[in-house]
């Protein structure tokens, strides 16, 4: 069992993304090192200099001292290093599976994340910092998500997961913002039968449940 | 030499991204199959059914019939298949290089693409469809890009490219929207010395010049 440090916070969507990935691996324990955004710890010059050039969270510090940021990159790194051969991350030598996986991972980044994270900001994270919700933008993000879900339904009516019939990081990456979207408007992920089935499946994984109860 | 089909358009940023990648490889010729967005060819039910479930461009059709969409996924697929061992895309068995590459590729997707593509939409693609530019949003996207460029400067003051001292797809992915950003406001990518040097370097590659002169 290896123990890695993750500079982050339990409520952070991107911290949860990495934590969920680690839970899918047999031999990785994650110790969260809190970076208190409320007190501006992420803007400390020493943090920016040593951990994250953009002053955000999370950052991984591996046992050998390797540091990586960007939650999806950290997740890929953890699987590549500690989950060799795992179907979570197809190797590029299996060109067909690799192409399908990268396609699915990119769909999450281009089609799902922008409206989902913007909706979460408008309704939850922004108001948490005292900003007023812009209802016109909320409607725009929900409309976009509903339109994108039609593409997801087309994909998921032909295969069980986004990259094929096996659960991969491309599905997992949806969990943190997907859960917020689902809380804010349960109709989005439940209006299409195959999307609903997929969402119910991936959101009931033990790894994700654990990420919602991170203990410092 | 292999010839692949790319359903796209010469003016499309994402089509140019894939075309540039192919130009970096010795043995890949790309034939563009035009999908005329102006006439709504991308919303044709047969196109959505057979090529792209989200009704957008580009889509690759490989010689063996394999189809992949999402420009970054297509680019990775082309390098993995036809540029084996190329430094453009580190293999996951080289864990350090792989982690650095995925981190850099994710920076492009999370920090650069959202404000850059939104700025391009507000100032170029939107008005091209008869929409009025929202100058408040333009200012917001430019402010975001200027803030992100500070993180880029911190990275590029320590290494030549985003994933280390070698040019990779993570740099290349910036080219299409970077060029539009640079046309719209040349100060963004030239205000910081290391960012300017990086941009001048990557934007002068022959592969990118070729992508700006795609012949159908």
- The model's pLDDT over B134-160, given as tens digits with 9 standing for 90+, comes to 999 999 999 999 999 999 999 999 999
Residues B9 and B192 sit within 8 Å (Cβ to Cβ)? no
Percent of chain B scored above 90 by pLDDT? 98
First-to-last alpha carbon distance for chain A, in angstroms, is 19
Nearest to B137 by CA among B148, B150, B121: B121
What percentage of chain B has pLDDT greater than the value 70?
Answer: 100
Residue range A102-112: average pLDDT? 98
Q: Which among B95, B107, B117 is the top mutation candidate for probing chain A, defined by the most A β-carbons within 10 Å of its own β-carbon? A: B95
Q: What is the pLDDT of residue B78?
A: 98
Please indicate whether, in this complex, the C-beta atoms of A70 and B114 are within 8 angstroms of each other: no
In a domain, B33, yes or no: yes
Regarding whether B164 and B111 lie in a shared domain, the answer is yes
| Nearest C-alpha neighbor of A178 from the set A134, A119, A102 | A119
Of B163, B148, B162, the residue nearest B198 (C-alpha):
B162
Q: Answer yes or no: is A215 within a domain.
A: no
Domain presence at residue A216: no
A9 and A68 co-located in one domain: yes
| B126 cis-preceded (ω within 30 degrees of 0) | no
Mean pLDDT of A176-199: 98
Q: Taking Cα atoms as reference points, which of A113, A169, A121, A170 lies closest to residue A145? A: A113
- Looking at the fold, whether A71 and A136 belong to one and the same domain comes out as no
- Domain finish residue from B37, B54, B86: B86
Within chain A, where are the H helices? Answer: 13-24, 45-50, 71-82, 95-107, 113-120, 126-128, 135-156, 169-172, 175-184, 193-203, 206-211
One domain, residues B176 and B99:
yes
On whether any CB of chain A is under 8 Å from the CB of B134, the answer is: no
Q: Report residue A24 as tokens.
A: 């899918």
In a domain, B205, yes or no: yes
Please determine, for residue B22, whether its predicted confidence score (pLDDT) is greater than 90. yes
The torsion defined by the Cα of B173, B175, B180 and B182, in degrees rounded to 10, comes to 120
Give the per-residue pLDDT at B121: 96
Supply the CATH number for residue A161's domain. Answer: 1.20.1050.10
From the list A92, A95, A110, the residue facing B92 with the nearest CB is A92
Is the same domain home to B70 and B141?
Answer: no
Rounded mean pLDDT, A122-131: 95
Q: For B54, which residue in chain A has the nearest alpha carbon? A: A151
The reported pLDDT for the residue numbered B211 is 98
What domain range is B16 assigned to? Answer: 2-86
Task: Give domain status of residue B216, yes or no.
Answer: no
Partner-chain contact B72 A114, CB within 8 Å? no
Q: Is beta strand B28-34 parallel, antiparallel or unpaired with respect to B59-61?
A: unpaired
Query: Do B178 and B158 belong together in one domain?
Result: yes
- B216 has pLDDT over 90: no
Contact call for B66 and A102, based on CB within 8 A: no
pLDDT value at B164 more than 90: yes
- Residue that has been written with the tokens 């955000």 in this structure: A56
Min CA distance, A24 vs chain B (Å)?
Answer: 18
The per-residue pLDDT for range A26-42, each reduced to its tens digit, is 999 999 999 999 899 99
| Predicted-assembly ipTM surpassing the 0.90 threshold | yes
pLDDT given for residue A47 in this prediction: 97
In chain A, the percentage of residues whose pLDDT exceeds 70 is: 100
A168 occurs within a structural domain: yes
Q: How far apart are CA A114 and CA B115, in angstroms?
A: 11
Q: What CATH number does the domain containing A58 carry?
A: 3.40.30.10
B66 and B160 in a single domain? The answer is no
Whether the pLDDT of residue B215 is over 90: the answer is no
Tell me: pLDDT of A216 over 90: no
Same domain, A190 and A115: yes
Does residue A142 sit in the same domain as residue A178?
yes
For residues B198-203, average pLDDT: 98
Same domain, A59 and A155: no
Domain for residue B22, yes or no?
Answer: yes
Last residue in a domain, options A59, A86, A113 = A86
Q: How many domains does chain A have?
A: 2
Q: How many CB pairs (< 8 A) connect A and B?
A: 95
Sequence-distant (6+) residues with CB within 8 A of B94 are none
Same domain, A122 and A56: no
pLDDT digits (tens, 9 = 90+) for A94-105: 999 999 999 999
pLDDT band at B188 (very low <50, low <70, confident <90, very high): very high
For B100-104, what is the mean pLDDT? 98
Q: Is residue A194 domain-resident?
A: yes
Radius of gyration in angstroms for the set of CA atoms belonging to chain B, rounded to a whole number? 17
Q: Is the pLDDT of residue A215 over 90?
A: no
Task: Give A-chain residues touching B54 at CB under 8 angstroms.
Answer: 107, 111, 148, 151
Same domain, A17 and A118: no
The answer on pLDDT for B45 being more than 90 is: yes
Domain boundary among B33, B64, B86: B86
Share of chain A above pLDDT 90, in %: 98
**Cβ separation B73–A99 shorter than 8 A:** yes
Q: In a 3-state reduction of DSSP, which class is residue A8?
A: strand
Residues 6+ apart with CB under 8 A from A152: A107, A162, A192, A194, A195, A198, B53
- Kindly list the strands in the beta sheet with B2-8, ordered across the sheet, starting from the edge strand earlier in the chain: B28-34, B2-8, B59-61, B67-69
Q: What is the average per-residue pLDDT within A86-92?
A: 96
Per-residue confidence (pLDDT) for residue B106, from 0 to 100: 98
pLDDT tens digits for range B119-135: 999 999 999 999 999 99
How many Å apart are CA A167 and CA B80, to the nearest integer? 22
In the structure, what pLDDT confidence band is assigned to residue A207 with cuts at 50, 70 and 90? Answer: very high
Q: Could you count the other beta carbons within 10 Å of the beta carbon of residue B64? A: 10
């Amino acid at each position: 069992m290896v123990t890695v440090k993750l500079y982050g916070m339990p409520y952070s969507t991107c911290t949860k993304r990495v934590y969920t990935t680690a839970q899918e691996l047999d031999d990785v324990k994650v110790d969260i090192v809190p970076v208190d955004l409320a007190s501006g710890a992420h803007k400390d010059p020493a943090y920016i200099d040593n951990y994250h050039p953009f002053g955000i969270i999370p950052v991984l510090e591996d046992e050998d001292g390797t540091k990586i940021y960007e939650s999806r990159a950290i997740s890929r790194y953890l699987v590549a290093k500690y989950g060799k051969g795992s179907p979570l991350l197809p190797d590029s030598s299996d060109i067909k599976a690799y192409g399908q996986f990268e396609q699915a991972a990119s769909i999450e980044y281009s089609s799902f994340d922008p409206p989902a994270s913007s909706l979460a900001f408008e309704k939850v994270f922004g108001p948490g910092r005292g900003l007023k919700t812009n209802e016109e933008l909320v409607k725009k993000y929900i409309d976009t998500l509903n339109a994108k879900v039609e593409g997801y339904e087309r994909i998921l009516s032909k295969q069980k997961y986004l990259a094929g019939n096996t659960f991969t990081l491309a599905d997992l990456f949806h969990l943190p913002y997907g859960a917020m979207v689902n809380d804010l408007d349960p109709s989005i992920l439940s209006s299409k039968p195959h999307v609903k089935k997929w969402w119910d499946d991936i959101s009931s994984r033990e790894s994700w449940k654990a990420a919602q109860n991170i203990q410092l």
